[in-house]
Structure 1
Amino acid sequence: MFYVKESLKIILMLMKAIFLGVAGVFMLSFSGCGNMPAIDRLFNSSPQIVDTGSRYGSYLAGRFAGSMRDMRNAATFYERALDHDPDNRVILERAFLLEMADGQFRKAAELAERIVENDDKNRLARLVLGLQAFRQGAYAQAREHLEKARNGPINTLVRNLVTAWSYAAEGQFDTALSVLDGASKTTSLPNVYVIHRAFLNDFAGRNEQAIADYIEALRISNGRTSIIVQGYGSLLARQGRVEEAARFYADYLLQSVDDRVISAELRRIDSGELPEPVITSANRGVANALFGPAAYLVGERAIDLPIIYLQAALYVDPDFVAARILSADLFEASQRWEDAIEMFGHIPRDSIYYSSARIQTAINFDRLDRTDEAIDIFEQLIRRDPNNYDAMITMGDMLRMRSRFPEAIDAYDRALTIAGPLDPEHWSLYYARGVALEQSDRWQEAEQDFLKSLEISPNQSLTLNYLGYSWIDQGVKYDEAMKLINQAVELSPGDGFIVDSLGWGYYKMGDYENAVIQLERAVEMQPDDPTINDHLGDGYWHVGRRIEARFQWRMALSMEPEDDAVAEIARKLEEGLDFSPSREAMSPAIP
C-alpha cells in the first residue's frame, strides 16, 4: 500500500548506534535456557515426545501457534502439554520462553524456578528471577540470581548493567560506578558503559562527572547518538546553561535526520521548561539496559529474541515508550496486527509519539478489514489537532487503496488546505489525489494534479509513469507520454510496472515487436501481476505467437484479476483479438 507512514525510526536509533561495530557478537549461538538451540529453532523443532492423546495434541497445537508467532496461544498449549508431562524439560523451556515473549512474567518466573532446579546457571531463567527480585526491591537477591547465570555475549552485558542499577536503586552509587568501570576494561563495548556511567551520575546528581561522561560518549559516537545528545543537553539546561543547551540541540538538528525527541526537547527549553533526565529511576536504567541489545538485534533482522528482551524491559518499566513502540513494530513485522494495536494502545496521550502510534493503530485496523474503525481513529486525531497533516494523508491513502475514491479525495483536499507553502515533499499528495481523481473519472482535474506533482518534483517515476500511461491509454500525446515513461524507466529500471507501461506504449502505437521485448522484461520483474501477463498475451497475439498469447491470458486469469477484466480475458481466450482490433487497454499496471 502507498501509506504515507509516519516515521517511528528515531526510537530504534536511541540505543542501536551504541552497539555499532560489533556485528556478529550478539548473533553467536545464544542459549536462553542452558544448552537450548537458537530460539527460532526452539519454537519450531520437534522434541522427543510420546503420543499419548491430549498431551501430544497440545504440543502440536503449541508448536503450530509458535510457528505463527501466536505467543499467547502457543504458551497456553505448551502449558497444557507440560501438565501432562511435567518432567519434559524441552516443553518446560519452550513454555517459559513463550510466556516471556507474551509478557507473562509471573508465569515465566514460576517456570524459571522449575528450570533452575535442573539447570542452575540458565541465563534467561536467572534473568527473569533477577528482574522479579529487582521489581520487588530485593536488590541483593536480584544480583545473586544474575551472578549465577552463565556468561554469554548478551547476558554478561545485561548482568553488569542491571547489577550497577541495582546498587544505584539502593543509593550505593560508588559501588554502582565501580561495577561499570570494572566491566568497561574487559569489553568490546566500552561506549555502552560510558553512557550508563553518564546516566548513573546524572541520576545521582553528580553533575560534573556526568557532564564529563556525556562528553566522552559524544566523542566516541561522533555526536550522532540521539539518547546521548538528549542526556547531555538536558543536563546542561538543568544546570542553568539553558542557552548552551538550546544551541547544542539546534546544532545537532541541523546535521541530523528529523529527530522528534530532540526537537521536543528544544521546544521545551524554548518554552521555559526544564527537560527531565533520560533516566528518572533505576527501573528505567534497567529497561534501557535491556532495550539496547533488543534494538541492535532488530537491526540484524531478528524478531523472537528482541521481543523477549523488550518484554523484559516493559516488565521492569511498563511506561518505557521506546520499548512499546519497538515491540509494536516487531509485531507488525510478524503480521500480528492485534498485538501491535494493543501495544500501541499503551502510548500515553502526552507522548510525542501518541499521534504516530494512533496512525499505526488505524493502519492495523485496516489490515484487519476494520476500515471504519480506522477512519474513526483518524477523525479523532484530526479533531484533537485540526492541523494533523499526517493523519489526513494517511487516511486518504487508506481510502484510496480501498477504492473509496470520493472519500480519499476529501481527505487529500483537507490535507492541502493546511499543507502550507509547496515544497518537493508534497509531490506524493498531488500524485495520490490525482490517482483518486482519475479513478473517479475526473480526468481534467487528475491531469492537473499530476502536472503539479511533476512541477514541484520532476523526477518521480510514479507520477511520470501514471501520467504517461494515462495519455497513451486515451490515445493522446503519444510522443510526450513515451518521453515521460522512458524517463520513469531510467529512474526505476527494476520496476516491472513501469516497464510494462513502456511496453504498452509501444503496443498502443502499433510497434508490437518492441512492445513484446519490454512486456517480457516486465513479466520477468513482476511475474505474478495479472495485468502485465495480460498485456504480454496481447503483444504475443499481434506478433503471431498465438499459443503463447493464450498461455499468458490463462496465467492472467489464474492470478485473480479485477472483476471487469475477467470477462474480457475469457473472451480473448475464446475468440482471440480479431474480434476487437482497436481494443482499449486494461487499467494501468500500478503498484
Structure 2
Amino acid sequence: MDGNYTRAWELKSAVLAQMGKNDEALEASKRARMSSAPSDTEMISHSWVSESFILRQMGRDDEFVAALENATTLDPKNYDAWILLGEALRGRGEYDRSLAAYDSLLSNIAPTSPPFLALVLIDKGSVLIDMDRYEEARDLYQQTIDLDFSDESPDQYYLGRAWIGEGVSLLRLGDYEDAQEAFNRSMEAEPLLADDAWGGIGDARMGLGSYEEALQAYDTALEIYPESVNAERGHAWKGKGDALMALGREEEALVAYQNATIAYDLAIERPDQARQSYPLNGEFWRSRGAVLEALGLEAQAEEAYGKAREMGYES
C-alpha cells in the first residue's frame, strides 16, 4: 500500500469536511483507511480519529465514540484518541467509562512531560468532580500543581487550569476561603483564565454569604468572557441572578435569569463552543433547570432536571 496515497485521501477528507460536505468527507476517510497497509495500525488509528471529528460534526454521537474506541484499540498509545474518548464519554454522562479511558491512557502511555500529563490529570479530576468524588479530584489537582512546570505559556496555562480545578474541588467541599485563593492563583499563573477564575470567586463569595462581593465577581466574569462561551456566560448570569435574589433585588434577578436562559440555549445549539470548565454535563442541566424554575417555566425546568438526573445529578 502507498502511504502517500493514504495521506492524499486523508487530506481530501479534511478539505471536504471544511467545506461542509460531510458525507463525501466520510467516504474519503474510509478510502484512506482502505488504502493503508493493515500492519500500519498507527496510521489507521489516526484515520479513525480524523473520521470521529466528521461524525461529531454530523451529530452521529454513537459512531463518534465508536470511532475513537477503534482508534484506541488499534493503537493504545494514541494520546489524542484517549483524550477525546474521555471527554466524549464525560459529555454523555458515562463517567465510569470516561475515568477508565483516562486510566488506560496513563497506563499505556505514561506521559511525563508536564503539559501532556497535566491535561490527563486535569480532565480525570473533572470526571471525579462529576462523580462527587471531590477529595480524590483535589488530590489529582494538587499532584498536577506539583509538576515541574516551566515558566513558558503552555505550562503556565495548565498550571492555571489545575488551580481552577483545585478551586472547584474546594467549593464542593465547602472550603470557600481556600477556593478563592485557588482561583486567584490560577489568574497569577495564566491571566487568560481570569474569566473562569472570577466566576469561581463569585461562587466562593456566595458560599460565604458575601452577596455584594459575589455580584461584583460575576459582573467581572461577564465583562471578560468572550461572547462565544455560552455555557460559561450562563453560569455567571445564573450566579448573578442568585446574588441579586439573595440581596432582595428580585426584578434584576429575573433579568439575569433570562440572560442565563439565553446563554444556556445558545450553549445547547453550539455545544462545540463549550469549554472544559463548564461542559454540558449534569450540573449544566441542573443549573438550567433552576433558572427556568425561577422564571416560572415549570415544564421546561422539569425537562432540564430530567436530563440532569439521567447524568446522575439530583435536582
CA shift, 1:534, in A, is 0.5
Counterparts of 1:26-65 in structure 2, within 5 Å, are: none
- Residues 1:437 and 2:136 aligned together: no
Q: Secondary structure at the match of 1:456?
A: coil
Letter in 1 for 2:287: A
Identity value in percent:
21
1:481 to 172, 176, 179: 179
CA contact (8 A) 1:469 1:505 kept: no
- 1:407–1:338: structure 2 CA closer, same or farther, 3 Å change rule? farther
Change (3 A) 1:431 1:337: farther
Describe the shift of the 1:570–1:379 C-alpha distance in structure 2 as closer, same or farther (beyond 3 A).
Answer: closer
- Report whether the alignment pairs 1:369 with 2:59: yes
Contact 2:122 2:162 in 1 (8 A): yes
One-letter identity of the residue aligned with 1:474: L
Change (3 A) 1:336 1:540: farther
8 Å CA contact 1:537, 1:548 repeated in 2 = yes
* Matching residue of 2:102: 412
Deviation at 1:426, TM superposition (A): 0.8
Cα deviation for residue 446 of structure 1 reads: 2.1
Query: Shift of the alpha carbon at 1:338?
Result: 3.1
Which of 534, 538, 541 is the equivalent residue of 2:238? 534
Q: 2:286 aligned with 1:564, yes or no?
A: yes
User: How far did residue 570 of structure 1 move?
Assistant: 4.1
Q: Deviations over 1:164-187 (max 9, x none)?
A: xxxxxxxxxxxxxxxxxxxxxxxx
* Pairing partner for 1:510 from 209, 219, 237: 209
Q: Is 1:546 paired with 2:250?
A: yes
Change (3 A) 1:572 1:382: closer
Answer yes or no: is 1:450 the counterpart of 2:141: yes
> Aligned pair 1:464/2:163, yes or no?
yes
Q: CA deviation digits over 1:39-88, x for unaligned, max 9?
A: xxxxxxxxxxxxxxxxxxxxxxxxxxxxxxxxxxxxxxxxxxxxxxxxxx
By percentage of residues, which structure has more helix?
2
Q: Residue 349 of structure 1 corresponds to which residue in structure 2?
A: 36
Greater shift, 555-564 or 352-361, is seen at 555-564
Q: Relative to 1, partners in 2 of residues 1:516 and 1:418: Cα closer, same or farther, differing over 3 Å?
A: same
| TM-score, normalised via structure 2 length | 0.70
Specify the alignment match of 1:427 in structure 2.
Answer: 118
Secondary structure of 2:146 counterpart: helix
> What code does the residue aligned with 2:218 have?
L
- The letter for the 2-side match of 1:375 is V
Would you say how many aligned residue pairs link Structure 1 and Structure 2? 258
Deviation sequence 1:241-267 (CA, Å, 0-9, x none): xxxxxxxxxxxxxxxxxxxxxxxxxxx
Deviation at 1:566, TM superposition (A): 4.1
**Structure 1: 5+ residue stretches without partners:** 1-279, 281-317, 575-585, 587-591
Structure 1 position 553, deviation (Å): 1.0
Instruction: Write out per-residue CA displacement over residues 545-573 of structure 1, whole angstroms, 9 at most, x where no aligned residue.
Output: 43221100122234447442344224444
Provide Cα deviations, 1:368-411, integer angstroms capped at 9, x if missing partner.
Answer: 33333233333333333344343323211221222221111111
Query: Deviations along 1:524-556, whole A, 9 cap, x unmatched?
Result: 325543221111112233445432211001222
Pairwise CA distance, 1:429: 0.6
Separation (CA, whole Å) in 2 of partners of 1:379 and 1:472: 34
AA paired with 1:568? A
CA distance in 1, matches of 2:142, 2:78: 26
Q: Distance in 2 between matches of 1:518 and 1:334?
A: 41
Q: Tell me the residue number matched to 2:301.
A: none
CA separation in 2, counterparts of 1:510 and 1:384?
A: 52
Equivalent residue letter for 1:419: I
Could you give the per-residue CA deviations for residues 154-203 of structure 1, whole angstroms, max 9, x where no partner exists?
xxxxxxxxxxxxxxxxxxxxxxxxxxxxxxxxxxxxxxxxxxxxxxxxxx
Between structure 1 and structure 2, the one with the greater Rg is: 1
Q: Secondary structure at the match of 2:59?
A: coil
Runs ≥4 in structure 1, deviation > 4 angstroms? Answer: 318-323
Residue 73 of structure 2: aligned partner:
383
Rounded Cα–Cα distance in structure 2 between residues aligned with 1:375 and 1:547:
44
Q: Is the 8 A contact 2:44 2:74 kept in 1?
A: no
Partner Cα distance (2:290, 2:59) in 1:
29
Which residue does the alignment assign to 1:337? 22
Asked if structure 1 preserves the Cα contact closer than 8 Å seen for 2:234 and 2:259, the reply is yes
Aligned equivalents of 1:440, 1:390: Cα separation in 2: 23
Task: Write the distance in 2 (CA, Å) between the matches of 1:407 and 1:550.
Answer: 39
Whether the 8 Å contact between 1:331 and 1:337 is mirrored in structure 2 is: yes
Q: 1:543 to 1:382 in 2, by over 3 A?
A: closer
What is the DSSP-based 3-state SS (H/G/I as helix, E as strand, rest coil) of the residue aligned with 1:346?
helix
CA shift for structure 1 position 479: 3.4
* Deviation for aligned residue 1:439: 0.8
Matches of 1:384 and 1:534, distance apart in 2: 44
Contact 2:89 2:98 in 1 (8 A): yes
Query: In structure 1, what is the Cα distance between the partners aligned to 2:9 and 2:213?
Result: 53
Q: Distance in 2 between matches of 1:474 and 1:487?
A: 18
Q: CA RMSD in A?
A: 3.0
Question: For residues 570 and 395 of structure 1, do their structure 2 counterparts lie closer, same or farther at Cα, with a shift above 3 Å needed?
Answer: closer
> Partner amino acid for 1:379?
E
Q: Which residue of 2 aligns with 1:65?
A: none
Aligned equivalents of 1:533, 1:334: Cα separation in 2:
35
CA contact (8 A) 2:203 2:239 kept: yes
Contact map agreement 2:125 2:141 (CA 8 A) in 1? yes
Matches within 5 A, 1:15-34: none
How do 1:493-504 and structure 2 match up within 5 A?
493=192, 496-504=195-203
In 2, are the aligned partners of 1:435 and 1:446 still within 8 Å (CA)?
A: yes
CA contact (8 A) 2:17 2:25 kept: yes
1:4-44 residue CA offsets vs partner (Å, 9 max, x unmatched)? xxxxxxxxxxxxxxxxxxxxxxxxxxxxxxxxxxxxxxxxx
Q: Distance in 1 between matches of 2:52 and 2:20?
A: 14
